[in-house]
Amino acid sequence: MNDHLPDSLVSIRQLTLTRGDKAVLDGLDWTVPRGTATGLLGRNGSGKTSLMHTLLGLIVSEEGTCTTLGQDARSLDDDANERLGFVDQHYQLIDWMRVDQHVHYVERMRARWDTDLQGRLLDAFDLRESAGLRVGALSPGARQRLSVLLALCHRPDLIVLDEPVSAQDPIFRKVVLDALRARVIEDGATLILSSHVLRDVESIVDRVAVLDGGRITIDAELDAMKESYQQWIVVGAATSSEEIAQLPFVISSERIGGALSLHVRAGEAERRELESRFSVSVEVKSLDLERLFPVLLGVSPKAVTA
Amino acid sequence: MVPFLCLLDRHSGEPVYRQIVDQVRFQVASGSLTAGDELPSTRAFGAEHGVNPMTVSKAYAELERIGVIERRPGLPSVVAAQRPEESAANVQEELRRVLRPSVTVVRQLGVEPEEAVRVLRGLLDAPDQPGD
């Protein structure tokens, strides 16, 4: 199904987008490999939505290039649009239609619509009972699930989701995230997801891209990040040493009682060296995405004040 | 194909591929997977555990590199045959991995090594005592 696709479904070079006199995106470079699920992370106002809209061709940038599914994002053809699935932050739907009419309406626009998948998602998302209701009468959670269903049933190659589970309770959160993940595993779809809830992102992504200051500052496999960033609790005689905090692989350090807590970008070799050089003992704590994110953004504990 | 247990926690700080490597290695060391046992394809494993097949492939590549499994073109991967001394070394390596965090705690508590070994031996001699 995706045999004609390029290795990178999105490829962005030197993209600049200004709003008023402020550069929202500022010389941004980014490549999204095929078959991966990427979490697009950034603080409020960092430009995540603008970036998503740009790669879908909904916003045209002033400078730089954006190639989506191998085509210029500013002029995607019908074939490219058929391969795209998008869930907007505000999940726009047509309120006066009944749920079943709305599903049928979108189905008729999509050549690759999979009615079997539609049936499974109607059940999983608990929307079958609501088929006869007006879309406008649905709860926010049900509306959001409907918009996810509508973005998935044509089995798109590239799925872009802006906060797709923000209105879901914990049970439906998992159901929707599992449905998204299944598209990546079963269809080899490529997925770009933004969410402030890092646990949600962590449950389905393979990669993380951090948008900060108008650029993608970090873009790597989540596994690789978890492997290279660690927290070390350093205990021993020399822990007051400012020398430790100055080591090149130390990102930040903080004193906790008699111990020194470090965020490091290091591995076994560095740990052994530190232990023998300063005669200290190091306890390694791995970082989940929740604790990794501030470290990546560099807003974690302040520099040491020993 | 042997149905083998793999419990993955995406919210642990451990990389997912590393969790797969560790669990397969442990099951080989403990004998619940033996030479010639077939592993699921990366796709089947991915679908079963909700993991990207690329991540499974990375884990299998690492397992092959360290000699735990054998990947065969067009055929299922299998648990590699191991010489007895290799098996013994693997068991030791697993033990080392599991006990290493305890070593840090022992040092932090300032407990003498002999005392720590005595406690471990005590626990081993009374393995089924609940709740301490």
Are residues A73 and A196 located together in one domain of the fold? Answer: yes
Q: Is the pLDDT of residue B51 over 80?
A: yes
Tally of structural domains, chain B: 2
B131 lies in a domain? Answer: no
Q: Is the pLDDT of residue A2 over 70?
A: no
Are residues A243 and A150 located together in one domain of the fold? Answer: no
CB-based contacts of A161, cutoff 8 Å, min separation 6? A86, A87, A148, A151, A180, A191, A192, A193, A194
Out of B43, B59, B79, pick the residue that ends a domain: B79
Q: Is the pLDDT of residue A203 over 80?
A: yes
CATH number at residue A273: 3.30.70
Are residues A35 and A75 located together in one domain of the fold? Answer: yes
Q: Is the pLDDT of residue B117 over 50?
A: yes
Tally of structural domains, chain A: 2
**Are residues A166 and A173 in contact, defined by beta-carbon separation less than 8 angstroms?**
no
Query: What is residue B70's predicted lDDT score, i.e. its pLDDT?
Result: 95
Mutation site for A-interface testing, chosen from B10, B58, B99, B103 by largest number of A Cβ within 10 Å: B10
Q: Is the pLDDT of residue A207 over 70?
A: yes
Q: Give the Cβ contact number of residue B88 at 10 Å.
A: 12
Helix H or strand E encompassing A283: strand A280-286
Are residues A264 and A153 located together in one domain of the fold? Answer: no
Query: How far is it, in rounded angstroms, from Cα B29 to Cα A70?
Result: 47
* Domain extent for A268: 225-297
Query: How far is it, in rounded angstroms, from Cα A154 to Cα A83?
Result: 8
Q: Which of A3-7, A155-159, A204-208 has the lowest mean pLDDT?
A: A3-7
Q: Is the pLDDT of residue A113 over 90?
A: yes
Place A301 in a pLDDT band, splitting at 50, 70 and 90: very low
Query: What is residue A239's predicted lDDT score, i.e. its pLDDT?
Result: 65
Query: Measured between CB atoms, which of B17, B43, B52 is closest to A37?
Result: B52
Mean residue pLDDT across chain A: 90
pLDDT tens readout for residues A31-77:
999 999 999 999 888 999 999 999 999 998 889 999 999 999 999 99
CATH number at residue B51: 1.10.10.10
pLDDT tens readout for residues B52-62:
999 999 999 99
SS3 A10: strand
B7 lies in a domain? Answer: no
Q: Do A223 and B58 touch (CB under 8 A)?
A: yes
Query: Measured between CB atoms, which of A185, A227, A291 is closest to B15?
Result: A227
CA distance, residue B111 to nearest chain A CA (Å): 13
ipTM: 0.81
CA distance, residue B79 to nearest chain A CA (Å): 24
The residue in chain A having the minimum alpha-carbon distance to the alpha carbon of residue B47 is A185
SS3 A140: helix
B63 lies in a domain? Answer: yes
CA A195, A197, A203, A207 torsion: positive or negative? positive
* Domain extent for B98: 84-125
The residue in chain B having the minimum alpha-carbon distance to the alpha carbon of residue A282 is B104
The residue in chain B having the minimum alpha-carbon distance to the alpha carbon of residue A224 is B15
Residues 276-305 of A with CB under 8 A from B: 281-283, 285-289, 291-292
Q: Do B53 and A185 touch (CB under 8 A)?
A: yes
